[in-house]
Amino acid sequence: MALSTAAGLWLAVLASGLYHGLNPGMGWPLAVSAALMEPGRWAFPRAIGALAAGHLAAMALMLLPFAFLMSLVAWLPVVRIGAALLVIGLGLWIALTRRHPRFLSRVPPSRLALWSFLVALAHGAALMLVPIYLGICAADPVDAGHAAASDLMASNARTAMVVAILHTAAMAAAGGALAWAVYRWIGLAFLTRSWFNLDLVWGLSLVIVGLISLATAI
């Protein structure tokens, strides 16, 4: 695979992280709330850190099983097609129903990391990375006849963690910057006047990622 294609896939990991961070559904308004309601200067960074930790755990949980599946090189097209269909199906469900899982509302605000972990799974944020990750793995030529399965799995597991960390860093940076701007300068009026609901855009973006992955897999 061309170097430019691999670079484009890594940029997609970064861009999806920025997109998730700016999406209020991933939790940056909760960081604003923590900064306003909790005493001490560490309330805001703790909230961002908790959101990032939960998001990273969700990314890793979704990517690592696919990293181990990559050891089955002969089944790579099937794995990529299956992942693409999963992403498309979830995207269509989100775009058409726009219903939020009720269990998310039962997680107390004090457990931001758990909430971030669950919302990233429920809304498909972690699943969105899977097709991109599989494309990145395909960018590395693997000689199935000479590479041991354990070495291949270890390599792909490391790649999965790098993808998850880079994505989460971009998510935390974008969400944290927007939350800090609202807290310090823009004010809460931004939330009441300029609230943006990205459910439809979110669902369609999952479908687009899935379709691109399906086309490249086939």
For residues 147 and 84, the model is more confident at 84
Tell me, what's the pLDDT at 160? 87
1, pLDDT greater than 80: no
Whether 130 is covered by a domain: the verdict is yes
178: Cα separation from own chain's centroid: 18
pLDDT in tens, 129-152: 888 888 877 655 554 444 444 455
Tell me, what's the pLDDT at 125? 84
Number of folded domains that form the chain: 1
187, pLDDT greater than 60: yes
For 11, residues 6+ apart whose C-beta sits below 8 A from its C-beta are none
Which domain range does residue 46 map to?
3-80+101-192
Whether 202 is covered by a domain: the verdict is no
Which range has the worst mean pLDDT, 44-48, 108-112, 154-158, 195-199?
A: 195-199
Whether 134 is covered by a domain: the verdict is yes
Whether 216 is covered by a domain: the verdict is no
Tell me, what's the pLDDT at 173? 95
The pTM score is: 0.79
Top mean pLDDT of 44-53, 137-146, 178-187 is at 44-53
Nearest CA to 213 out of 132, 140, 136, 125 is that of 132
Tell me, what's the pLDDT at 14? 92
Place 81 in a pLDDT band, splitting at 50, 70 and 90. confident
Place 66 in a pLDDT band, splitting at 50, 70 and 90. confident
Place 110 in a pLDDT band, splitting at 50, 70 and 90. low
Place 71 in a pLDDT band, splitting at 50, 70 and 90. low
Mean pLDDT, the chain, integer: 79
Whether 151 is covered by a domain: the verdict is yes
* CB neighbourhood size of 98 (10 A): 12
Whether 186 is covered by a domain: the verdict is yes
Backbone dihedral angles phi then psi of residue 196, each to the nearest 5 degrees: -120, 130
Whether 94 is covered by a domain: the verdict is no
21, 25, 29, 30 alpha-carbon torsion, rounded to 10°: -100
Answer yes or no: are the C-beta atoms of 33 and 182 closer than 8 Å: no
Amino acid at 64: L
For residues 143 and 43, the model is more confident at 43
Give the Å distances, CA to CA, from 143 to 67, 68, 92, 133, 180. 16, 16, 37, 19, 48
